[in-house]
């Protein structure tokens, strides 16, 4: 079952009841029982089997997965907790499985199976390194299997080593002295028993699809021409991100295959960025894409549909659908993709299957953010002038004081002169004089440039360099990417904490692409004549601005996979408070993942809590919600916010969720029955309250709000300019939502506007933007490639408000703009 933990959200415990779009009767999520799980925090993914819930634990360095915030986190001892929810009002921890040091049980899957060699409840635990160190590398990870038929006495059965192809049988065992044979991390795991009785374990080792080794020498190799799969006789032993293991006899797990294959990755998934040349021209897969500021593509998780079909979210590469009828040779059936738009983040992280109305669906959780629209504007008229794509770094995107983000500045920009400071480390000659830097935007290199600075210069972390420049008086920092071949030359949103020791980072940092960085560096600091270092004469004085617009958090994408060869996007659900990124606090408002029972989906939404949604409509509508109380992290490292990362449904109908800080909650959905599934079981008789947890974790009484019907609004639209005759053709569409009479801004001014751009009858762009708090919206679109227009001389813009809990969807009159004389 799945998933990464992440962070948190602010609000008292409350239950929201909203109108159900398919029935007249309102529904609610009622709190039935709760357990602090020992009060140690770091609670992770939850899975149910029968009336037993299994809870993983731990987070990864840098939050490890896509909702990054933490630069570092202690690596305490963690356990897998086995909880009895037979009495939903009194969940009881029956046992705990200790995990070895420096690893965390990032994901858990459980299944009741019956085979000739095993009859009982099988638990799979995906183990991940929680510390990037020699000791962390030397801890055994992979996937561990347990017998939890007796939940009070779990029994270890075996471990799968996902990279056993990387070592020889003569290599020494895993140890701190040599980690060659140590089982590497697997982030996610799923279990399935097929109709023929075979039990398969599918787990993911993200970004490992280029792992190759020579089975004779044991030496890793890169992908070479002719080496297109496992055991092809060319010296390669290929393994993709998804590892398929036969655990019919769980005491002897047997590796049988992997997915995707090398040919598919090199020919289909990889979108090489402009300017990227693989080393030596050899086709080597790097996990980078063209999308956004988190431009990664790899298999983070896996789901199984109908026993013979694997659903593999591949981040920016969308959703891959594979036939695993023959698990030794998985075959791609189809693929749902995001648009290859540089401004669009593709965050397909987690997936769960659903069957609704005769359709097979994939519920994709985008466990990250769809980033802010950042850019560096260079003033002037020369070839360097214009807007450069940029990515804002994490330390100020998650600013605790909520002041450092660029979009909160006057005019959503920071203007100033730009000065070159080399690497920008304390003690470097080019950044030693604060009078050059004070009141200006400091432009620094990601990696030291040997012709500008001595190769033996001081090294420092990115945040240490940023703090040094901040203390010198810089008003902002622009980092020039310096990579061309070893990693992506595209800008990314760099990781990092907002603190360097006791000091806060209070100025923002952007990164720009390598080609833009090279041009800007040469203009500010012309290369000197070899072998000198520093700047030659003739450097330009350049002014500009760091410019920004807020983005939004990841949503739930509902993809119809009934025909796996032609998957289509059915709809999107965006929970409340997911409309604006960066957030107004240190909460996380992305969708983590969802599970479905009948036509009702249950969405683990981090700081949005648990959201119940109706899956019968194209864009799912919310029917009820539950948000746990803010709870202090016992270690003090994670913000004291609600943070729901796990959800599943037990056999008795109890909805079980896990919160990173506060523990496990048992809920019941009341109201209209699910039209495609059995109604929820009757409410149990009130049970005596369990012993109260520590004061910081005791939830306040639940409250409810009344259901309300949705009213009609009107949407306006305007396109400027009315014509643009030179590439890049750039237009802004803006307007306002007029709310139903009597509805306040707070209730009405939320939701998204979808903007469709057509040339003739062909759609060439579809973008979404969030309403502002005053009910206005504005979206800028650019088209650099004239060929996209064909022979058309004008574009048609259609804006549609997608609706919210109080306002129905509304479409503005179409607007037109000319692109040729």
> pLDDT of 295-317, one tens digit each?
778 888 999 998 999 999 998 88
Q: How far apart are CA 572 and CA 218, in angstroms?
A: 46
Residue 613 — pLDDT band, cuts 50, 70, 90? very high
Name the token pair of 407: 């979009």
Residue 714, pLDDT score: 92
Q: How far apart are CA 497 and CA 63, in angstroms?
A: 11
Which among 615, 646, 670 is the end of a domain? 670
Q: How far apart are CA 747 and CA 201, in angstroms?
A: 46
Other Cβ atoms less than 10 A from the Cβ of 353: the count is 17
Name the token pair of 368: 């990250």
Does the residue 280 lie in any domain? no
DSSP string, 368-420: SEE---EEEEE-SSSTT-EEEEEEE-HHHHT-TTS--SGGGSGGGEEEEEEEE
In degrees rounded to 5, what are phi and psi of residue 396? Answer: -100, -15
Residue 745 has pLDDT above 90, yes or no: no
Residue 801 has pLDDT above 70, yes or no: yes
- Please report, in angstroms and rounded to a whole number, the separation of the first and last CA atoms in the chain: 56
- Kind of pairing between the strands at 718-720 and 762-770: unpaired
Q: How many CA atoms lie within 13 A of 746 on its CB side?
A: 0
From the centroid of its chain, how far is CA 744?
Answer: 33
Residue 268, pLDDT score: 40
My answer on whether 544 and 568 are in the same domain is no
Residue 773 — pLDDT band, cuts 50, 70, 90? confident
Please state the length of the chain. Answer: 821
Does the residue 7 lie in any domain? no
My answer on whether 177 and 264 are in the same domain is yes
Averaged pLDDT, 718-746? 88
Q: How far apart are CA 88 and CA 534, in angstroms?
A: 69
CB 752 within 8 A of CB 770: yes
Q: pTM above 0.75?
A: no
Residue 455 belongs to domain with CATH number: 3.50.30.30
Domain range for 339: 28-212+237-270+285-369+553-670
CB 127 within 8 A of CB 185: yes
My answer on whether 256 and 165 are in the same domain is yes
Does the residue 677 lie in any domain? no
Residue-wise pLDDT for 679-724, tens only, equals 333 333 333 344 433 333 333 333 333 234 568 889 999 999 998 8
Q: How far is CA 720 from CA 7, 379, 815, in A?
A: 40, 22, 10
Residue 611 belongs to domain with CATH number: 2.130.10.10
Q: Which of 721, 797, 802, 811 is nearest to 756 (CA)?
A: 797
- Kind of pairing between the strands at 254-259 and 242-246: antiparallel
Which residues on neighbouring strands pair with residue 119, listed in sequence order? 114
- Least confident stretch, 351-365, 619-633, 678-692, 788-802: 678-692
Q: How far apart are CA 101 and CA 131, in angstroms?
A: 10
Does the residue 17 lie in any domain? no
Highest-confidence range of 99-103, 144-148, 786-790, by mean pLDDT? 144-148
What is the chain's Cα-based Rg? 27
Residue 206, pLDDT score: 84
Residue-wise pLDDT for 483-509, tens only, equals 764 456 778 887 766 666 667 788 999
Mean pLDDT of all residues belonging to the chain: 79
Q: How far apart are CA 740 and CA 112, in angstroms?
A: 52
Query: Which of helix, strand or coil describes residue 463?
Result: helix
My answer on whether 365 and 387 are in the same domain is no
My answer on whether 725 and 598 are in the same domain is no
Does the residue 690 lie in any domain? no
Residue 134, pLDDT score: 54
My answer on whether 162 and 256 are in the same domain is yes
Instruction: Please report which helix (H) or strand (E) contains residue 103, including its range.
Output: strand 103-114
My answer on whether 546 and 597 are in the same domain is no
My answer on whether 467 and 563 are in the same domain is no
My answer on whether 579 and 518 are in the same domain is no
The number of folded domains in the chain is 3
Q: How far apart are CA 482 and CA 461, in angstroms?
A: 15
Residue-wise pLDDT for 182-195, tens only, equals 667 788 999 999 99
My answer on whether 439 and 404 are in the same domain is yes
Does the residue 577 lie in any domain? yes
Q: At which residue do the structure tokens 């998985």 appear? A: 330
Does the residue 687 lie in any domain? no
Other Cβ atoms less than 10 A from the Cβ of 280: the count is 8
Residue 122, pLDDT score: 98
Instruction: Please report which helix (H) or strand (E) contains residue 257, including its range.
Output: strand 254-259
DSSP class of residue 641 equals S
Does the residue 432 lie in any domain? yes
Residue-wise pLDDT for 193-213, tens only, equals 999 999 999 999 887 765 443
Residue 30 has pLDDT above 60, yes or no: yes
Residue 254 — pLDDT band, cuts 50, 70, 90? very high
Residue 205, pLDDT score: 86
Q: How far apart are CA 631 and CA 728, in angstroms?
A: 49
């Amino acid at each position: 079952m799945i998933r990464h933990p992440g962070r948190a959200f602010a609000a008292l415990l409350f239950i929201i009841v909203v109108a159900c779009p398919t029935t007249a009767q309102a529904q609610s999520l009622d709190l039935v029982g709760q357990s602090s799980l020992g009060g140690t925090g770091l609670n992770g993914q939850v899975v149910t089997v029968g009336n037993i819930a299994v809870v993983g634990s731990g987070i990864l360095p840098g939050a490890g997965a896509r909702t990054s915030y933490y630069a570092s986190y202690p690596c305490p001892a963690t356990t897998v907790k086995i909880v009895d929810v037979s009495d939903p009002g009194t969940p009881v921890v029956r046992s705990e499985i200790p995990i070895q040091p420096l690893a965390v049980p990032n994901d858990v899957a459980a299944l009741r199976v019956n085979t000739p060699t095993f009859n009982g409840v099988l638990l799979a635990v995906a183990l991940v390194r929680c510390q990037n160190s020699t000791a962390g590398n030397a801890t055994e990870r992979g996937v561990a299997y347990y017998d939890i038929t007796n939940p009070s006495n779990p029994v270890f059965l075996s471990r799968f080593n996902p990279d056993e192809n990387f070592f020889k049988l003569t290599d020494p065992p895993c140890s701190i002295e040599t980690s060659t044979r140590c089982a590497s991390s697997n982030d996610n795991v799923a279990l399935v028993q097929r109709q023929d009785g075979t039990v398969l374990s599918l787990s993911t080792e993200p970004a490992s699809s280029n792992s190759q080794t020579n089975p004779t020498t044991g030496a890793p190799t890169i992908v070479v021409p002719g080496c297109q799969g496992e055991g092809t006789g060319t010296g390669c032993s290929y393994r993709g991100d998804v590892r398929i293991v036969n655990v019919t006899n769980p005491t002897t797990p047997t590796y049988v295959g992997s997915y995707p294959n090398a040919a598919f990755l090199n020919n289909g998934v990889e979108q090489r960025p402009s300017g990227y040349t693989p080393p030596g021209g050899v086709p080597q897969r790097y996990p980078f894409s063209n999308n956004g500021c988190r431009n990664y593509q790899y298999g983070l998780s896996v789901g199984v549909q109908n026993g013979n079909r694997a659903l593999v979210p591949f981040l920016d590469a969308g959703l891959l659908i594979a036939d695993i009828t023959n698990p030794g040779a998985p075959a791609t059936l189809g693929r749902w993709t995001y648009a290859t738009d540089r401004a669009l983040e593709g965050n397909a992280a987690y997936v769960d299957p659903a069957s609704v109305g005769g359709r097979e669906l994939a519920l994709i959780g985008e466990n990250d953010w769809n980033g802010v629209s950042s850019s560096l504007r260079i003033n002037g008229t020369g070839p360097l002038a214009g807007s450069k794509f940029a990515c804002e770094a994490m330390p100020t995107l998650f600013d605790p004081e909520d002041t450092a983000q660029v979009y909160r500045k006057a005019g959503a920009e920071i203007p100033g002169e730009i000065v070159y400071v080399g690497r920008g480390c304390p003690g470097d000659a080019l950044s030693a004089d604060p009078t050059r830097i004070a009141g200006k935007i400091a432009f620094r290199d990601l990696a030291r440039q040997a012709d500008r600075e001595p190769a033996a210069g001081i090294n420092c972390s990115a945040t240490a360099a940023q703090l040094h420049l901040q203390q010198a008086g810089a008003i902002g920092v622009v980092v020039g990417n310096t990579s061309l071949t070893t990693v992506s030359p595209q800008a990314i949103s760099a990781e990092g904490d907002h603190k360097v020791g006791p000091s806060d980072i209070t100025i923002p940092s952007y990164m720009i692409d390598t080609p833009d960085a090279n041009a800007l560096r040469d203009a500010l600091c012309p290369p000197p004549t070899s072998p000198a270092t520093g700047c030659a004469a003739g450097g330009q004085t350049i002014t500009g601005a760091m410019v920004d617009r807020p983005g939004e958090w990841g949503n739930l994408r509902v993809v119809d996979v009934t025909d796996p060869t032609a998957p289509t996007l059915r709809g999107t659900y965006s929970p409340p408070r997911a409309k604006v990124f960066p957030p107004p606090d240190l909460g996380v408002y992305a969708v983590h993942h969802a599970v479905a029972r009948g036509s009702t989906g249950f969405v683990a939404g981090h700081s949005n809590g648990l959201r119940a949604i109706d899956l019968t409509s194209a864009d799912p509508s919310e029917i009820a919600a539950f948000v746990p109380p803010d709870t202090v992290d016992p270690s003090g490292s994670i913000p004291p916010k609600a943070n729901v990362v796990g959800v599943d449904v037990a056999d008795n109908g109890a909805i079980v969720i896990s919160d990173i800080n506060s523990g496990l909650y048992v809920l019941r959905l009341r109201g209209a029955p699910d039209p495609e599934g059995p109604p929820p079981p009757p409410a149990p008789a009130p049970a005596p309250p369990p012993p109260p947890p520590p004061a910081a974790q005791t939830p306040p009484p639940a409250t409810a709000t009344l259901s309300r019907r949705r009213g009609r609004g009107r949407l306006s639209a305007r396109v400027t300019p009315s014509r643009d005759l030179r590439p890049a053709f750039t237009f802004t569409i803006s307007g306002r939502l007029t709310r139903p009479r009597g509805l306040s801004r707070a209730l009405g001014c939320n939701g998204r506007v979808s903007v469709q751009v057509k040339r003739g009858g062909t759609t060439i762009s579809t973008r979404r933007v969030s309403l502002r708090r005053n009910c206005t919206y504005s979206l800028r679109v650019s088209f650099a490639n004239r060929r996209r227009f064909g022979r058309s001389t004008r574009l048609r813009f259609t804006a549609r408000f997608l609706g919210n809990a109080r306002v129905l969807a509304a479409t503005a009159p179409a607007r037109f703009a000319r692109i040729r004389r």
